[in-house]
């Protein structure tokens, strides 16, 4: 025993020094999202997966064996964060045919879409619901360095009531099909949270109201009771996880906020009381205001049933007004796009819509960086290009504060200090 320890200790002592890998990025400018300003002629020094120094070009002393990346004409932006994606499906697939995809098939799609999302500049995503723990496996593969993709917070199965938005209502009754996240009653809900965590979920999602793309649900109507939502939130928080609620309708939004939910997804029908409640509780809103355009333009061609396209028509305009009002009132906003309703990789298209509906370009960038990092309780290492932070850095050709559409064409992507697109 003692001998073994000695051998192990001397192996450590005499192991060759593995020197850290350093990369220096030079660029025309950098968006300091926290201070809300552009820093010109900048250099960022990265060592392994972290940023160790940010300075004016020429001020950083170059060691040996340092790789230099020159991004002339480009502006650096912190790696983007999308708080609502579904990597397991594609908008352009036939809507009803895709319901027949097996979990392995969905997993293959998630592997593909994870890479597409990363190359679009989104270095962190929250996957709010997937069948069979598929995205948890994809997350683990990415973390193990086996496949490229963003850093993922994965919810496992979305939790909701029998016949609700997150159940399978498309099959006939005799098929007895039921989504794995169906739970009725507070203890059943708690059990589902526990089951998700058991199989690796690192965030929780509940379906508080009806939705656009489910069958037979009323989009504005509450489904989980406040007591059930509170059970999920308490259980998630006790286990150190944050929880998100799909909620379009006013009552469901309010119930979820009062139950202590961390973020409201969609947030379509926000009245003044809902806005005041979000302010009071510090709840984040994650409003997917781009995809209504995609669904109304391409939904029919993709085989989306008339029932669902009709519900999209009810939601679109009012959702964007809710977004405008809530942002104006100072509610905390994150970037959540519900990618899968529109094609993965087009996530950046939502920025210009956030500006059209009332945000400044800076606010839209903050939603996708520091605000999302704060929601994930990772403000100390995600969302900024700053010494000590993880090296998630992207670049666009020009100044996004002057032209926010530049966020649709990301030309450089580094995640964890590794370059994926140059």
Residue with smallest beta-carbon separation from ligand ARG: 211
Residue count, binding to ligand ARG (CB under 6 A) = 13
Pick the closer one to ligand ARG by CB: 53 or 314.
Answer: 314
Near ligand ARG in 14-43, by CB under 6 A: none
Pick the closer one to ligand ARG by CB: 47 or 293.
Answer: 293
Of 341, 365, 370, 394, the residue at the interface with ligand ARG (CB under 6 A) is 341
Of 71, 137, 166, 212, the residue at the interface with ligand ARG (CB under 6 A) is 212
Pick the closer one to ligand ARG by CB: 292 or 371.
Answer: 292
- Is residue 181 at the binding interface for ligand ARG, with CB under 6 A as the rule? no
Helix (H, G, I), strand (E, B) or coil at 104: helix
CA triple 365-369-373, angle to 5 deg? 155
CB of 351 to ligand ARG, least distance (A): 16
Give the span between the Cα atoms of 89 and 270, in whole angstroms: 28
Pick the closer one to ligand ARG by CB: 32 or 338.
Answer: 338
Question: Which residues, other chains included, contact 146 with Cβ-Cβ below 8 Å and sequence gap of 6+?
Answer: none
Pick the closer one to ligand ARG by CB: 77 or 212.
Answer: 212
Question: Which residues, other chains included, contact 393 with Cβ-Cβ below 8 Å and sequence gap of 6+?
Answer: 25, 44, 46, 51, 76, 77, 78, 79, 385, 412, 414
- Is residue 211 at the binding interface for ligand ARG, with CB under 6 A as the rule? yes
CB of 201 to ligand ARG, least distance (A): 19
Both tokens of residue 75?
């502006």
CB of 322 to ligand ARG, least distance (A): 10
Neighbours of 5 (CB within 10 A): 9
Q: Which long-range contacts (CB under 8 A, 24 or more apart) does 257-262 make?
A: 257/281, 257/283, 258/226, 259/226, 259/229, 259/230, 259/232, 259/233, 260/230, 260/233, 260/234, 261/206, 261/208, 261/229, 261/233, 262/233, 262/375
Residue among 232, 150, 154, 139 nearest 194 (CA) = 232
Pick the closer one to ligand ARG by CB: 116 or 214.
Answer: 214
Of 115, 167, 235, 288, the residue at the interface with ligand ARG (CB under 6 A) is 288
Instruction: By CB under 6 A, name the binding residues for ligand ARG.
Output: 211-213, 266, 288, 291-292, 312, 315-316, 319, 338, 341
């Amino acid at each position: 025993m003692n001998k073994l320890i000695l051998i192990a200790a001397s192996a450590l002592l005499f192991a060759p020094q593995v020197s850290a890998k350093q990369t220096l990025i030079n660029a025309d400018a950098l968006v300091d999202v926290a201070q809300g300003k552009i820093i010109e002629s900048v250099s960022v020094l990265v060592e392994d997966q972290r940023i160790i120094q940010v300075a004016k070009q020429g001020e950083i002393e170059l060691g040996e064996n340092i790789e230099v990346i020159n991004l002339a004409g480009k502006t650096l932006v912190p790696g983007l964060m999308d708080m609502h994606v579904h990597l397991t499906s594609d908008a352009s697939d036939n809507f009803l045919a895709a319901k027949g995809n097996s979990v392995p098939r969905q997993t293959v799609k998630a592997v593909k879409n994870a890479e597409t999302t990363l190359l679009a500049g989104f270095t962190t995503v929250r996957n709010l619901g997937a069948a069979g723990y598929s995205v948890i496996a994809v997350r683990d593969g990415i973390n193990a360095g086996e496949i490229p993709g963003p850093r993922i917070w994965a919810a496992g199965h979305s939790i909701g009531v029998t016949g609700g938005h997150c159940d399978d209502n498309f099959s006939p009754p005799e098929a007895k099909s039921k989504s794995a996240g169906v739970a009725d009653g507070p203890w059943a809900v708690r059990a589902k949270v526990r089951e998700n965590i058991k199989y690796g979920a690192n965030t929780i999602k509940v379906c508080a109201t009806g939705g656009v793309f489910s069958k037979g649900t009323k989009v504005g109507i509450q489904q989980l009771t406040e007591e059930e939502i509170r059970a999920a939130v308490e259980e998630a928080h006790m286990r150190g996880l944050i929880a998100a609620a799909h909620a379009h309708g006013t009552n469901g939004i309010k119930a979820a906020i009062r139950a202590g939910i961390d973020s409201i997804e969609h947030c379509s029908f926000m009245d003044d009381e809902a806005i005041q409640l979000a302010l009071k509780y510090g709840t984040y809103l994650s409003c997917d205001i781009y995809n209504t355009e995609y669904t109304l333009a391409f939904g029919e061609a993709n085989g989306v049933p008339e029932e669902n396209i009709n519900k999209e028509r009810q939601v679109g305009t009012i959702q964007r007004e809710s977004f405008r009002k809530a942002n104006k009132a100072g509610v905390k906003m994150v970037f959540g796009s519900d990618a899968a309703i529109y094609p993965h990789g087009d996530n950046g298209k939502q920025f210009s819509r956030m500006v059209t509906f009332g945000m400044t370009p800076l606010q839209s960038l903050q939603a996708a960086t520091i605000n999302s990092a704060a929601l994930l309780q990772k403000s100390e290492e995600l969302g900024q290009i700053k010494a000590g932070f993880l090296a998630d850095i992207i670049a666009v050709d020009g100044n996004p504060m002057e032209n926010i559409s530049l966020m649709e064409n990301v030309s450089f992507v580094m995640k964890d200090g590794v370059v994926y697109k140059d």
